[in-house]
Amino acid sequence: MKHIVVLGGGFAGINLVNGLIKEFGHSIGKDVKITLVDKNSFHFRKVLLFKMIIEDANLKVPLTRYCTNGVEYLKGEVTTFHHTKKTITLKMENEQNNTLQYDYLVVALGSVVQEVSSKLGGITLSSIKAALDIRQKLQSLILQAKAEENKEVRKGLLCVAIVGGGITGIETAAELTAWFKKEVQEAGLHSNEVEVILFDSKEHLLRGVPVKVSEKLVKELNRLGITIRVKTKVKQFEDGQIQCADGTTYRVGECIWTPGVKVNPFIQTLQFPLTKEHQILVTDTYSIQGYPNIFAIGDCARIIYRKTNQVDGMTCKEAIPQAARLSKILKNEVYGNSHSITHKAFPIKLYCISLGPDNGFVWAQKWGLDFTISGKMGARIREKTWDQASLLV
């Protein structure tokens, strides 16, 4: 019986397990054994982390939910692996080591949120604790503003800066603006005193999107009361002031950093061939270069569609089809089928963005044509993509 071990219970890992269950079905436990390994007991929906600023959202899904049909789950942290012996060593909950033998190993260890140095001030939206700290800080600012008679000082207290204009930054700005205005109003202050400024160093919001689409998104954000500052690099937040590289300053109550993600640092310890961004170099069948029985997908892998040299992004929408394709490749490997399955790029350019309660923005490009959907329909599509990525529908 062949043994497939999947490292990582993120979006790539859980979707791969789901694909393997579909591919092998009743053969699990007979022809193949499947084991999911993660140091946590849950799948963390980190794309929804911004929700924790405004409400106590449940972002943890038990990994046992995905380990059905005989799939085994092990809670442990990888400490070493020996590719010639086909073994990995795990440190288990009881601090004991457990050696696991595999026939096929899949590295799906994903990414982590980049942490901005505390020396730069503000709070990086990097964890549940950070989100709760932001909520507490904003509530404190409201109390300070309520006690402040000076209008200009009060305006500064009720101004929030968000640095980083990627999807997380945009979604954080939109969700936070609606919540903050409501909280301010309930405290007896005027909601129009609230200002949220979204800073981004790039030419326009959203990489790879046509300027006209970006401008349409900016209009939607402006309508929500969000001020956009592109081509503006923030250097530091200190003493209630945002300091920009061009010398401009802004008086704000708090600064929230949303710098995006980076490859899980643990990948650098595994001695695989890496890019300068520390992604694992893989072939078009997702096997790691030089390691034919070890595969990598998701954010930790550099995956290229050879026909166009298009590089997959570090988002759920790329990880899900990678996982589906790899499950078929592994089935062929187990049964010795020669049918070749190789990576293909995501068929359309696509962004789905939440713009706060009952509001969203979706952009798709196909055949050179741009399609956008906003409002409640956009919100429904965004919510569906969140649930689909975590296999909750």
Left, alpha or beta for 189 (phi > 0: left; psi -120 to 50: alpha)?
Answer: beta
State the Cα–Cα distance between residues 35 and 28, nearest whole angstrom.
11
- In this structure, the number of other CB atoms found within 10 A of the CB of residue 307 comes to 11
Tell me the pLDDT of the chain averaged across its residues: 96
| Sign of the torsion angle spanned by Cα atoms 326, 166, 373, 377 | positive
Same fold, 2-113+261-347 and 118-259: yes
**CATH classification code of 2-113+261-347:** 3.50.50.100
pLDDT at 309: 93
Q: Does the pLDDT of residue 95 top 90, yes or no?
A: no
Q: What is the pLDDT of residues 322-343, one digit of tens each?
A: 999 999 999 999 999 988 899 9
Domain boundaries, the chain: 2-113+261-347, 118-259
pLDDT score at 93: 84
- Say if residue 207's pLDDT is above 90: no
Mean pLDDT of 54-58: 93
Residue 3 β-bridge partners: 33
16-33 mean pLDDT: 97
**Angle 11-24/316-335 helices, nearest 10 degrees?**
40
Look up tokens 């009361």; give the residue: 225
- Calculated CA dihedral for residues 59, 114, 195, 244, nearest 10 degrees: 180
Cross-strand pairs, 311: 304
Q: To which CATH superfamily is domain 118-259 assigned?
A: FAD/NAD(P)-binding domain (3.50.50.60)
Which pLDDT tens digit goes with each residue over 253-265? 999 999 999 999 9
Rounded to whole angstroms, what are the CA distances from 149 to 142, 146, 254, 280?
A: 13, 8, 19, 56
The pLDDT of residue 174 is 98
